[in-house]
Amino acid sequence: MTMPQAHEDASAFWEGHYAKLTAPASGRPSAILVRFTAGLVIGRALDLGCACGDDTIWLARQGWTATGVDVAQSAIDAAQRAAEHAGVAERTRFARHDLNVSIPDGAFDLVSAMFLHSPGKFDRLAALQRAANVVAPGGLLLIAAHGSRAPWSWADPDTVYPTADEELVDLSLTPSGWHDVFVGPIERIAYGPGGQTATVIDTVIALERLT
């Protein structure tokens, strides 16, 4: 797979990725999202890098008013169609954003960034700092990242994955403004694009915004 050389190519890379998939949406929400939203007071959610909408639609089904954003317009269009098909279009909103540049305005009770990885010069840290800024007081910032490489991943086999603690330090959030709900690794069974499975490590940061 050809890697883009600059973040301007991210859109083209992901459009190409989604054009090749025969079944872009799995219909399954992220296990991390399901686990860490259990018991939360339902409100406004923002799903960053929403792909074809599985997580956004699952949130809407639980009663959240959910906004999904992605750099790939084809993914946004597929997510919109899937939300209509699922009967939750009135509780979902999908918009194209390049998170290198912008994020929806507002204050959200849940901001979720599930595997917001991208080849090329994606400034993941800046995007996550922007994400932290739109969490409402009392809301949850939920970040999951790859902590190991799945066999089908486009990532370089020599990739060194930061730990959740390292990523939290890099985020440079004001310590007094956040409560650590969970920061660490979680093992799970992952499903590949062809339906194959593998055991992988996710690194998870779940923080409640205090102020």
Ligand X SMILES: C[S@@+](CC[C@H](N)C(=O)[O-])C[C@H]1O[C@@H](n2cnc3c(N)ncnc32)[C@H](O)[C@@H]1O
The residue ranges that bind ligand X (CB under 6 A) are: 10, 14, 30, 49, 51, 70-72, 75, 97-100, 114-118, 122
Give min distance, CB of 176 to ligand X, in A.
30
Token pair belonging to 74 = 């084809």
Query: CB-wise, 14 or 36, nearer to ligand X?
Result: 14
CB 15 within 8 A of CB 72: yes
Give min distance, CB of 211 to ligand X, in A.
28
Give min distance, CB of 116 to ligand X, in A.
5
Cα Rg of the chain (Å, integer): 16
Collect all residues with Cβ–Cβ distance below 8 Å to 203 and sequence separation of at least 6.
144, 145, 146, 147, 161, 162, 163, 164, 167, 184, 185, 186
Query: CB-wise, 8 or 84, nearer to ligand X?
Result: 8
Query: CB-wise, 162 or 177, nearer to ligand X?
Result: 162
Give min distance, CB of 109 to ligand X, in A.
19
Query: CB-wise, 16 or 177, nearer to ligand X?
Result: 16
CB 137 within 8 A of CB 64: no
State the DSSP string of 139-189.
EEEEEEEESS--TT--S-TTPPPPPHHHHHHHHT--GGGEEEEEEEEEEEE
Give min distance, CB of 137 to ligand X, in A.
25
For ligand X, the nearest residue by Cβ is 49
Query: CB-wise, 28 or 179, nearer to ligand X?
Result: 28
CB 189 within 8 A of CB 199: yes
